[in-house]
Structure 1
Amino acid sequence: MAKTTRLGVVTTGHGPRDEYIHYHERILRSLGADVEVVIRHIYGGLTLDELLPHQVGKETPNLGAHVHVPGAVGNHMGDGWEHRFFALDFAIDKVQAAIDHLEQEDGVDMVLLACAAEFPEGSISAGTLLIHPRELMFSVVENIAHGSRRKVRIGALVDAEHADHDYRDWAQRPFFDRIELVMSPVTATALAAAEELGRQGVEFAFFFGYGIGLAPFDPVEEVPRLEAAIGAPLILPHRVAGLFLRNLLAPGLDDYAFLPNGWGLNS
């Protein structure tokens, strides 16, 4: 009998992030996987004062993080949380340390990054499988475009301050000449940006914010509203990661659970 797979999850800030434990365990177990989620937070054990020397603006290479800020209110993680940005080089070291801890101390079988941020090539690695949702997202686009006789109209919700960089990232992908990319920068609200994609008539939309809609104070209707405004499938990294991971976990998917009762008995 196959053993339970220990899935290590790396978050880019402070803990707890129980929504990631709940989501990944439940989606995978609901599809028949035998999995246990073990989580590490890259800034676990570091206070805000220790992080402040590494805080940067969006114009500097960075990694966004939800961190504990005494007295903060209004964050979708709850009071006492804020979303801030820290220098990418500093963050990368902490991401790698979290991966190492998961493998060497927690004995995980594979590691999932709970983010879809861009990391320099070769800057992080694992001794086992390292699942990066950003690359999974782009592989979905590539497969959508593959073999089509026409350019598929793809929408992307992006941070307004990173729109130019994000466009260059898309443009360097080998499939770029087989899609028609419509970018909608989030300036006022994500819903307004989604409505613009709806007006542009995209066929599929992508949003690289990992875990959108899962935080404790995210409105339950947040993602459905975005999807309704776009009028097309909204592809999110936590969904793509969950479904991709199912193919890697034991036991294998019970295909007959998705066929009529008694199917194949007379074959």
Structure 2
Amino acid sequence: MAKRTKLGVVTTGHGPRDEYIHYHQEILRSLGADVEVVIRHIYDGLALEDLLPHQVGKETPNLGSHVHVPGAVGNHMGDGWEHRFFALDFATGRVQAAIDSLERDDGVDMVLLACAAEFPEGSISAGTLLIHPRELMFSVVDNLARGSRRKVRIGVLVDAEHADHDYADWARRPFFERIELVMAPVVTTALAAAEELGRRHVEFAFFFGYGVGLAPYDPVDEIPRLQAAIGAPLLLPHRVTSLHLRNLIGPGLDDHAYLPQGWGLTS
């Protein structure tokens, strides 16, 4: 009997982030995977005062993080949370430390980064498998474009302050000349940007916010409204990643569970 796979998840801020445990564990188990999810948060053990020397603006290379801020209100994680930005080199070191802890202390079989951020090449690694949703998202686009005799029209919801950087990131991808990229900066709301993609008639839309729609105070209809406004499939990193993980975690899919009962001829 194959052993249960222990999946380590790294988040980019403070804990708890129980939605990541529930989502990844339940979607994988519902598809027949034998999996246990263990989670580490890169800033656990550090108070806000410890993090403030490393806080930066969006104009500086950074990693966005949900952290505990006493007295804060109005965040979709609940009161006492804020989304702040910390220097990328500092955050990257903490990400690597979390990966190391999951492998050394928790004995995980593979590690998932619960973010779709860009890290410097070679700056993080694992002794086991390291799953980076960002690269999975781009690999989907590569496969969409690879076999088509025309340019596939791809829409992307992006942070308005990062739009130029994000465009440059797409432009250096080897598949870029085989797609027609439509970027919709989020200036007011994500819904308004989604409506712009709908007006531009994209075939597929991508939103690189990991776990968007899963937080405790996210509206239940948030993602369905975005999808309806776009009028095309919306690909999210937590969805793409979970379906990819299912192929890596045993036991294998029971294919006949998806065929009519009694299917198959016998001699």
Q: Which runs of 5+ in 1 are unaligned?
A: none
Rounded Cα–Cα distance in structure 2 between residues aligned with 1:257 and 1:213? 30
Residue 103 of structure 2 aligns to a residue in which SS? helix
1:82-101 equivalences in 2 (<5 Å) = 82-101=82-101
Match of 1:175 in 2: 175
Rounded Cα–Cα distance in structure 2 between residues aligned with 1:75 and 1:20? 17
Match of 2:252 in 1: 252
Identity in percent: 84
Query: CA offsets, 1:169-189, max 9 Å, x none?
Result: 000000000000000000000
How far did 1:142 drift?
0.3
Q: Which amino acid aligns with 1:224?
A: P
Match of 2:243 in 1: 243
Residue 82 of structure 2 aligns to a residue in which SS? strand
Match of 1:56 in 2: 56
User: Which consecutive aligned stretches of 4+ in structure 1 deviate over 4 angstroms post-superposition?
Assistant: none
Match of 2:131 in 1: 131
Total equivalences in the alignment: 267
Match of 1:68 in 2: 68
Residue 217 of structure 1 aligns to a residue in which SS? coil
Rounded Cα–Cα distance in structure 2 between residues aligned with 1:37 and 1:265? 39
1:1-267 equivalences in 2 (<5 Å) = 1-266=1-266
Rounded Cα–Cα distance in structure 1 between residues aligned with 2:146 and 2:32? 30
How far did 1:203 drift?
0.2
Q: Which amino acid aligns with 2:66?
A: H
Rounded Cα–Cα distance in structure 2 between residues aligned with 1:38 and 1:253? 23
Query: CA offsets, 1:116-157, max 9 Å, x none?
Result: 000011000000000000000000000000110000000000
Query: CA offsets, 1:99-128, max 9 Å, x none?
Result: 000000000000000000000110000000
Rounded Cα–Cα distance in structure 2 between residues aligned with 1:61 and 1:142? 26
Rounded Cα–Cα distance in structure 1 between residues aligned with 2:209 and 2:36? 24
Q: Which amino acid aligns with 1:174?
A: P
Query: CA offsets, 1:211-252, max 9 Å, x none?
Result: 000000000000000000000000000000000000000100
Rounded Cα–Cα distance in structure 1 between residues aligned with 2:106 and 2:151? 45
How far did 1:265 drift?
4.3
Residue 111 of structure 2 aligns to a residue in which SS? strand
Compute the TM-score of the two structures, normalised by the length of structure 2: 0.99
Rounded Cα–Cα distance in structure 2 between residues aligned with 1:259 and 1:111? 33
Q: Which amino acid aligns with 2:175?
A: F
Query: CA offsets, 1:156-202, max 9 Å, x none?
Result: 00000000000000000000000000000000000000000000000
Rounded Cα–Cα distance in structure 2 between residues aligned with 1:197 and 1:88? 30
Compute the TM-score of the two structures, normalised by the length of structure 1: 0.99
Residue 240 of structure 2 aligns to a residue in which SS? helix
CA RMSD of aligned residues (A): 0.5
How far did 1:75 drift?
0.2
Residue 184 of structure 2 aligns to a residue in which SS? strand
Rounded Cα–Cα distance in structure 2 between residues aligned with 1:31 and 1:66? 30
How far did 1:266 drift?
2.9
Q: Which amino acid aligns with 1:59?
A: E
Rounded Cα–Cα distance in structure 2 between residues aligned with 1:179 and 1:240? 20
Q: Which runs of 5+ in 2 are unaligned?
A: none
